[in-house]
Amino acid sequence: MPEGVGTLHELRAALDAGETSSVEIVGQCLRRAEASQDTLNAFVGLRAEAALREAEESDTRRERGEVRSPIDGLPLAIKDNMVQTSEPAHCASRILEGFISPYTATAVEGLERSGAIVIGRTNMDEFAMGSSTEHSVNGPTRNPWDADRTPGGSSGGSAAAVAARIVPAALGSDTGGSIRQPASFCGVVGMKPTYGRVSRWGLVAFASSLDQIGAFAQTAADCAWIFEAIAGHDSRDSTSIPEPAPAYSGALSGDVSGLRIGLPKEYFVEDGVDAGILAAVRDSVAELERAGAKTVEVSLPHARYAVATYYAIANAEASSNLARFDGVRYGHRAVGAKGLTEMYCRTRSEGFGTEVKRRILLGTYFLSAGYYDAYYRKAQQVRTLVRRDFERAFEACDALITPTSPETAFRLGEKTSDPLTMYLSDIYTVSANLAGIPALSMPCGSVGGLPVGLQIFGSALDEATPLRIADAFQAITDHHTACPGDFA
Amino acid sequence: MARINRAEVERVAFLARISLSDGEADQLVQEFDSFLGYIETIQEVDTEGVEPTAHPVSLPTPTRPDRPAAAMDAGLAVANAPETAASGFLVPKVIGTEAEG
Amino acid sequence: MSDISGEFEVVIGLEVHAHLRTESKLFSPAPIVYGAEPNHAVHPVCLALPGVLPVLNERAVELAIRASLAMGCEVHQRSIFARKNYFYPDLPKGYQISQYEEPLATGGWVDVPVEGAGGAAGKRRIRLTRIHMEEDAGKSIHDDAIAGSDSTLVDLNRAGVPLIEIVSEPDIRSAEEASAYLRAVRSILRFTDVSDADMEKGHLRCDVNVSLRLRGSTEYGTRTELKNLNSFRFIEDAANAEIERQAKTLRAGGRVQQCTLAYDPRSGRTSVLRLKEDADDYRYFPDPDLIPLLLSAKQIEQARSEIPELAEQRSERFQSEYDLSEYDAAQLTASSSIAEFFEAASKQHGAPKVVANWILRDVMQALNERELAIDDSLFSPDALARLIKMVDDGKTTVKSARGLIAELVESGGDPEELVAERGLAAVSDTGVIEQAVAEVLAANPESVELFRSGEGKVVNFLMGQVMQKTQGKADPAAVREILARELGK
């Protein structure tokens, strides 16, 4: 076995060749997880006993020739905002302390049905609100490449766990870039599907019209396997696309010849982004051109309003989604409150962190009488224009490429004092959530020893093209194999 | 002049049932000012005749047939509750004239 | 109550909330069970657990459309579910899924029977503003004995039950009219099978908005809201008490404050629950977890065709189409099932007035004696029609047929077979009748004398004797004829 766990594809091959067992693989991942906890803090909890039992069951299935899927018996981690029966789900928040879920998220059920094994839950920014995994009741997760830096957020724990080769893959959630930005900071592949492609049943809601569950892995091919297990229509989610999961692996032809790649000029403005990042992205695009792809400049004129639009909508929806955390039916309740109102106010003040409170208050303001039209409704109108920008761009090309982030992983504490600066780090990622289109980030180089991410947007329902481009890129380059060294 | 004043922040905090210390409230007045200034940039956009996005994906209305599922075990339903009496959730009484519903 | 009608005009509007007759909740698949123990009929969705999502109940939509069409509303092909955000322990999500801008239906009306001048029956048309769909909240039990003196007990069994809210225009002009309006609404809801609308079970709740204005004025006065009144009596009493209170305030030169009130039936007084200045800002916005409700014109027409004809309309039609009396028509249309039974039997038999008679006289009695609803009886309209036909054709007597009704109601059966089995075939063989008449006349010479001396009525006695002799099976017309002939000799 390589240092640190290999890819899903490598592990599958090893299992099928009889070189190892699920129990052995899962055991190794659990040990690495435990060993890394003090230094990395990627996990909030492990379910060792259950995982090992499931691994045994998988081994038995494999011996009987009853393998359920390519990921049967392979370990994964899930973000702390996805529920699983009899397991805690705290969203890295004090307000959910003690909560144990009586049901399982559809995406997690998809993993279970495929035989994959959830070994534990990963750290995140509280309620997915953040871009650094510093806003967590469990303390920050550190970037495996540099312990003084953040792994990005809000799915920082999942990104770090895959980057540190603790697990081959992990689930995350992406509302404004919370999978892609940490993927880029940690040097792994991270993908958010089309809105509605993966069910949100069992994903603790942050912003309902923007949230999606997605995956982290070392390769695009591994990502395809995960999405085959978790995507598809779910009648429990009214916003679910009424189609079964496409066979993503089949789209990985390795061929990008003739593919038209759009480069939105607003994303390549020199003083908005680190020069080293631009260079790495341009070099990667050139690599793809050498492989036969064509590039074309396009424009997304409303790009500069994306962050403001995103925050108006996201915070408004979040303020309503988080109203259920009130100390009545589950989670934290303030002790010794006199009367209902005091109980509500103290429970929520004690239970929510500063960033969450800030966003709830902003969101409440945006929806309140007199401001609704100017903020929420207006933002939804601008959102329509953002969507149309993409529709127009996709008439001229099959996919768009941009840097994932204007910077590489920043230092812990660097942005926590100015929330607005933190929000602006989402500048390249939020448009995909506004438009509902699929988007992926993959490693494409490094600057100062830190990974650089390249983002690929696909048109609605077309996860296959970004996956195909990433897979083809990974066949002719080796950025995705770079590893931060043994982190344990 | 700040875009929002202390009284507004407190009104919003009450709507959201979050209590703020004086320091927090003052801090928020500053922060709100900064955010609102940034978010207000969307006012520049010409949205004449543009429909607000109802949904990122266009779908026919999903419905479910009127078939009841088995009720959840009542014990499980209240298992996470901070306080219960029999199988009901117990909460402090409302003090004063706030009854809703 | 003092008569204020000289100075003031009463302006009342009602918001009626009615439970829809579905088996599961509006957005949750939890079963609807009345009277269950707290939280014994819930599901993760109605508990608002983290990560749950709403999915719309299609039957609830059908029923809401039906109710809207029955009340003359325009049903919109596109409507939006919106979140109404506020905090209360029986509202688990911290918001109620309702409809705000773009409701399911707008317009419409309800005709309310009123007593006109001189006691004549009349109608007042109360217009509706809208009908929309929403979910109910759970129950908060404040009773010290159950929850303790400092606590409230929350039961979420009712949370998520589908409701329609029927909002009237402020067209109602008295407390009594308000109560009559609510009765009319309840009747429509029951007849269309949209709601059981049983106020005692909490299927029907009502908020009453009351204001006064100077007679002749066209401006509205400040209105107050009486919440959650759940009996007709309380609605009238509470509205009257509030009218009285407002009149008193206004006469004294004061101003009515906008507020929400509760009514205490024991004291007969209203008290302020909440001043409207403290009103919550509900921050309505379209629910992003739900897709707009899109209905095709076909779906709406389909729902329209499923509305049972309303009782009043049907009664009028029975009077004109079948030439029934107002009383008989009203009786027959009091129940949808009876009305349908009647029409089916009439259609087959061909003489509606005759059929009506049989139903109102014999069938209803048999049903009532057995506490059976006609739907639960095996007696079919076809069987009734055939039975009556047998009497028409002289194949059995009225008496015999009437005697069979009870059995037919209780256990069904074929009338021809039963007549044969029970030996109830009418005796129309003249030979047998002549024999019976001869025997009766011979046995009753005094009666014959009485008849011949002018006491015509005695023929009834003799008829009875002949009928007895033939065990009631003789065809009465034939008996009369032969008796008359023999007596005439």
- pLDDT tens digits along A433-475: 999 999 999 999 999 999 999 999 999 999 999 999 999 999 9
Contacts of B31 in chain A (CB under 8 A): 358, 419
- Substitution target in B12, B53, B64, B66 with the highest count of C β-carbons within 10 Å is B66
Chain-chain contact of C280 with B100 (C-beta, under 8 angstroms): yes
Residues C261 and C167 both lie in one domain: yes
CA distance C271 to C260: 8
Classify strands C269-275 and C259-264 as parallel, antiparallel or unpaired.
antiparallel
* Range in A73-77, A287-291, C50-54, C400-404 with the lowest mean pLDDT: C400-404
- Substitution target in B73, B89, B94 with the highest count of C β-carbons within 10 Å is B89
Residues C134 and C242 both lie in one domain: yes
Residues C330 and C457 both lie in one domain: no
What is the third-level CATH fold of A8-259+438-481? Amidase signature (AS) enzymes (3.90.1300)
What is the pLDDT, as a whole number, of residue B100? 44
Cα–Cα distances (Å) from C313 to C316, C336, C445, in that order, read 5, 12, 59
Question: CB of C197 within 8 A of CB of C17?
Answer: no
Give strand pairing partners of A295.
A261
CA distance A163 to C111: 71
Residue B21 in contact with partner chain C when CB distance is under 8 A: no
Residues C340 and C272 both lie in one domain: no
CA distance C287 to C293: 12
Nearest 5°: CA angle at C219, between C213 and C225? 60
| C298: its two tokens | 């076909």
Checking if the pLDDT of A316 tops 50, the result is yes
Residues C18 and C90 both lie in one domain: yes
What is the pLDDT, as a whole number, of residue A1? 34
Residues C438 and C404 both lie in one domain: no
Question: CB of C54 within 8 A of CB of C293?
Answer: no
The full DSSP string for A226-271 is HHHHHBB--TT-TTS-SSBPP-GGGG--S--TT-EEEEEGGG--GG
Q: What is the pLDDT of residues C182-239, one digit of tens each?
A: 999 998 998 888 999 988 888 999 999 999 999 888 899 999 999 878 889 999 999 9
Residue A127 in contact with partner chain C when CB distance is under 8 A: no
Residues C61 and C186 both lie in one domain: yes
- Is A459 assigned a catalytic role? no
What is the pLDDT, as a whole number, of residue C2? 61
Q: Does C106 map to a domain?
A: yes
Q: For tokens 């009149």, what's the residue? A: C247
- Interface partners of chain B (CB pairs < 8 Å, 3 or more) are A, C
Question: CB of C172 within 8 A of CB of C178?
Answer: yes
Percent of residues, chain A, with pLDDT higher than 70: 99
Q: What is the pLDDT of residues C432-457, one digit of tens each?
A: 888 888 899 899 999 888 888 888 88
SS3 C265: coil
The whole-angstrom distance between C53's CA and the closest CA on chain B is: 12
What is the pLDDT, as a whole number, of residue B101? 38
Contacts of B82 in chain A (CB under 8 A): 327-328, 330-333
Q: Where are the domains of chain A?
A: 8-259+438-481
Find, in chain B, the residue whose alpha carbon is nearest to that of C155.
B88
Find, in chain C, the residue whose alpha carbon is nearest to that of B100.
C88
- Is A257 assigned a catalytic role? no
C 70-109 near B (Cβ less than 8 A): 80, 86-91
User: How would residue C118 be classed by pLDDT, with cut points 50, 70 and 90?
Assistant: low
Backbone φ and ψ of A203, nearest 5°: -95, 120
- Interface partners of chain C (CB pairs < 8 Å, 3 or more) are A, B
CA atoms within 13 A on the CB side of A7: 20
What is the pLDDT, as a whole number, of residue A4? 78
Q: Where are the domains of chain B?
A: 6-43
Contacts of A327 in chain B (CB under 8 A): 82, 91
What is the pLDDT, as a whole number, of residue A152? 97
Give strand pairing partners of A107.
none
Checking if the pLDDT of B99 tops 50, the result is no
Catalytic residue among A21, A36, A79, A131: A79
Checking if the pLDDT of C117 tops 80, the result is no
- Count of C-beta atoms within a 10 Å radius of residue A158: 39
Q: What is the pLDDT of residues A144-173, one digit of tens each?
A: 999 999 999 999 999 999 999 999 999 999
What is the pLDDT, as a whole number, of residue A3? 63
- C307 or A327: which carries more pLDDT confidence? A327
Chain-chain contact of C51 with A239 (C-beta, under 8 angstroms): no
Q: For tokens 């009144």, what's the residue? A: C229
The whole-angstrom distance between B8's CA and the closest CA on chain C is: 13
What is the pLDDT, as a whole number, of residue C308? 73
CA dihedral (C447, C451, C454, C455) positive or negative:
positive
Residues C165 and C94 both lie in one domain: yes
C 262-301 near B (Cβ less than 8 A): 272-275, 280-281, 283, 286, 288, 291-294
| A422: its two tokens | 């933190």
- C152 or C427: which carries more pLDDT confidence? C152
What is the pLDDT, as a whole number, of residue B98? 47
Burial string for B74-86 (b: 16+ CB within 10 Å, else e) reads: beebbebbbebbe
C 187-226 near B (Cβ less than 8 A): none
What is the pLDDT, as a whole number, of residue A180? 98
Q: What is the pLDDT of residues B39-98, one digit of tens each?
A: 889 999 999 999 999 777 778 899 999 999 999 999 999 999 999 998 999 999 987 644
Catalytic residue among A114, A178, A240, A405: A178
What is the pLDDT, as a whole number, of residue B1? 60
- Is A240 assigned a catalytic role? no
Q: What is the pLDDT of residues A286-313, one digit of tens each?
A: 999 999 999 999 999 999 999 999 999 9
Average pLDDT along chain C: 90
Question: CB of C181 within 8 A of CB of C110?
Answer: yes
Q: What is the pLDDT of residues C445-488, one digit of tens each?
A: 998 888 888 888 888 888 888 888 888 778 788 888 888 888 88
Q: For tokens 């003031």, what's the residue? A: C8
Q: Does C3 map to a domain?
A: no
| C399: its two tokens | 């008496």
Question: CB of C261 within 8 A of CB of C250?
Answer: no
Candidates C44, C55, C289; nearest CB to A208: C289
Contacts of B72 in chain A (CB under 8 A): 102
Question: CB of C185 within 8 A of CB of C16?
Answer: yes
| A8: its two tokens | 């899903």
Q: pTM for the complete prediction? A: 0.85
Contacts of B10 in chain A (CB under 8 A): none
C 282-311 near A (Cβ less than 8 A): 283-285, 288-291
Question: CB of C270 within 8 A of CB of C283?
Answer: no
Q: For tokens 């929350």, what's the residue? A: C154
Cα–Cα distances (Å) from C102 to C18, C82, C106, C466, in that order, read 20, 9, 9, 76
Burial string for C50-76 (b: 16+ CB within 10 Å, else e) reads: bbbbbbbbebbbbbbbbbbbbbebebb
Residue A331 in contact with partner chain B when CB distance is under 8 A: yes
Q: How far is CA A90 from the centre of its chain?
A: 17
Catalytic residue among A22, A132, A154, A199: A154
Residues C344 and C476 both lie in one domain: no
Counts for chain A of helices (H) and strands (E), in that order:
15, 11
Q: What is the pLDDT of residues C269-328, one digit of tens each?
A: 888 887 776 567 999 999 999 999 999 999 999 888 888 777 778 888 999 999 999 889
Q: Does C1 map to a domain?
A: no
Give the number of domains in chain C.
3
Checking if the pLDDT of B30 tops 60, the result is yes
Residues C171 and C270 both lie in one domain: yes
| B22: its two tokens | 């004086």
Residue C51 in contact with partner chain A when CB distance is under 8 A: yes
| ipTM (interface predicted TM) | 0.96
Contacts of C95 in chain A (CB under 8 A): 320, 323
Residue C448 in contact with partner chain B when CB distance is under 8 A: no
SS3 C144: helix
Residues C434 and C416 both lie in one domain: no
Nearest 5°: CA angle at C89, between C88 and C91? 70
Per the structure, the complete domain to which residue C440 belongs is given by: 430-488
Candidates B55, B59, B76; nearest CB to A102: B76
Identify the domain boundary among C238, C266, C301.
C301
Give strand pairing partners of A261.
A295, A399
Checking if the pLDDT of A47 tops 60, the result is yes
Percent of residues, chain C, with pLDDT higher than 70: 97
Q: Using alpha carbons only, how large is chain C's radius of gyration in Å?
A: 31
Checking if the pLDDT of A348 tops 90, the result is yes
Checking if the pLDDT of A129 tops 70, the result is yes
Residues C334 and C235 both lie in one domain: no
Q: What is the pLDDT of residues A2-42, one digit of tens each?
A: 467 899 999 999 999 999 999 999 999 999 999 999 999 99
Task: List the one residue out of A157, A122, A119, A163 whose CA is nearest residue A22.
Answer: A119
- Substitution target in C157, C291, C293 with the highest count of B β-carbons within 10 Å is C291
Type of residue found at A234: D
Give strand pairing partners of C106.
C74, C130
